[in-house]
Amino acid sequence: MIYTPKITSDIQINSLNDLIKLKPFLEDSTLKINKSQIARELGKDRRTVDKYLKGYEKPTVRKRSSCIDDYYDIIKELLSDESQQIFYYKRVLWQFLKDNHGLSCAQSSFRRYISQHSEFQSYFERRQKRHIKKKSHLRFETPLGKQAQLDWKESMKFLLKSGEWIDINIFVLLLSSSRFRVYRLSLSKTQDILFSFIDDAFETFGGVPDELLTDNMKTVMDQPRTAYSKGKVNPRFAQFASDYGFKVRPCIAARPQTKAKVEAPMKLLDELYAYNGLLDYHELNHLVHKLNERINHKVHPGTGRIPVMYLQKEKAHLSLICSLLGRQVK
């Protein structure tokens, strides 16, 4: 038997991967190869051609499964139209899965996973259109102990697990320098409740700041401060401030950027909507406290510091809390 092998009589080079065919000729010098001409014909750099002639092979990309794939069905259910739970940000969904379903991945990996799945990404794109970003304003740093900023996250509609819808309000008092804050949950915003929450916040701070920056809420101001008027502080609140020894500094009406340090973090409280229909009021109150603790123990993106650690430094600049036994709550 005579075996006649098939002999290659021509070599076609159509891509960089075909250059490996020329390697044997290059090694035994049986063929003079014009690398520059090949580079021009392939539209590649000469150095790239040389690399492939020497045997370089582009590594194949292997599609790896993600640990987040195990949560696909849960994510799909949470983001469905039938779900009462609301997730305004991917960060909130990541935190919810981490706290309640054992998800253990970096937030950046989770955000990338959501972006790669159009059925999930579209959910957040719709939410973003409803929450148009406001123009950012330059914030000035405040000396230690100088100021605290007061605000309410008002009239948040929340669904209890009993099926009842309620309107909740979150009191926020934030030290402007350390960014340490106190959250308190309430169904109303009466002046007595406000006094109680400020009392509690000062106890938590371990002292009293020089001034309280606030908007023109009716429990603080009888007449709003405007660009043309300094306004009028409510007499009872003025006495409350005098007892503690802090000044009341109202913002100019319709100019919330003055209070940007406390206004900006308000969106963190939107995480509560992720628990619609899952909690009773007591459990919701516990969630607000848990959220408060987490934020105070996390690096603040604006300062690069952890609020609870920097609070220890700010305490030395706060005024001592005087006895208020003589003040009567009406």
Nearest to 171 by CA among 132, 125, 202, 206: 202
**Percent of the chain, pLDDT > 90?**
58
pLDDT of residue 140: 54
On the question of pLDDT at 33 being above 90, the answer is no
- Work out the mean pLDDT of the chain and round it to a whole number: 84
**What band does 30 get if pLDDT is binned at 50, 70 and 90?**
low
pLDDT of residue 328: 43
**Range with the poorest average pLDDT among 11-20, 41-50, 138-147, 260-269:** 260-269
On the question of pLDDT at 266 being above 80, the answer is no
Mean pLDDT value across residues 163-171: 96
On the question of pLDDT at 255 being above 70, the answer is no
Mean pLDDT value across residues 225-247: 91
Give tens-digit pLDDT for 89-127: 999 999 999 999 999 999 999 999 999 999 999 999 988
For residues 100 and 144, what is the distance between their CA atoms, to the nearest angstrom? 37
**What band does 262 get if pLDDT is binned at 50, 70 and 90?**
low
**Percent of the chain, pLDDT > 70?**
82
Q: Give the 3-state secondary structure of 138-171.
A: CCCCCCCCCEEEEEEEEEEEEECCCCCEEEEEEE
For residues 79 and 273, what is the distance between their CA atoms, to the nearest angstrom? 13
Return the number of other C-beta atoms located less than 10 Å from residue 80's C-beta. Answer: 10
Neighbouring-strand partners of residue 74: none
pLDDT of residue 287: 96
User: What are the φ and ψ backbone dihedral angles of 316, each rounded to 5 degrees?
Assistant: -65, -15
pLDDT of residue 141: 72
CA dihedral 43, 45, 48, 49 (to 10 degrees): 60
pLDDT of residue 65: 72
Give tens-digit pLDDT for 44-79: 888 887 887 777 777 665 556 788 999 999 999 999
Domains of the chain: 16-53 (no CATH), 67-130 (no CATH), 147-315 (3.30.420.10)
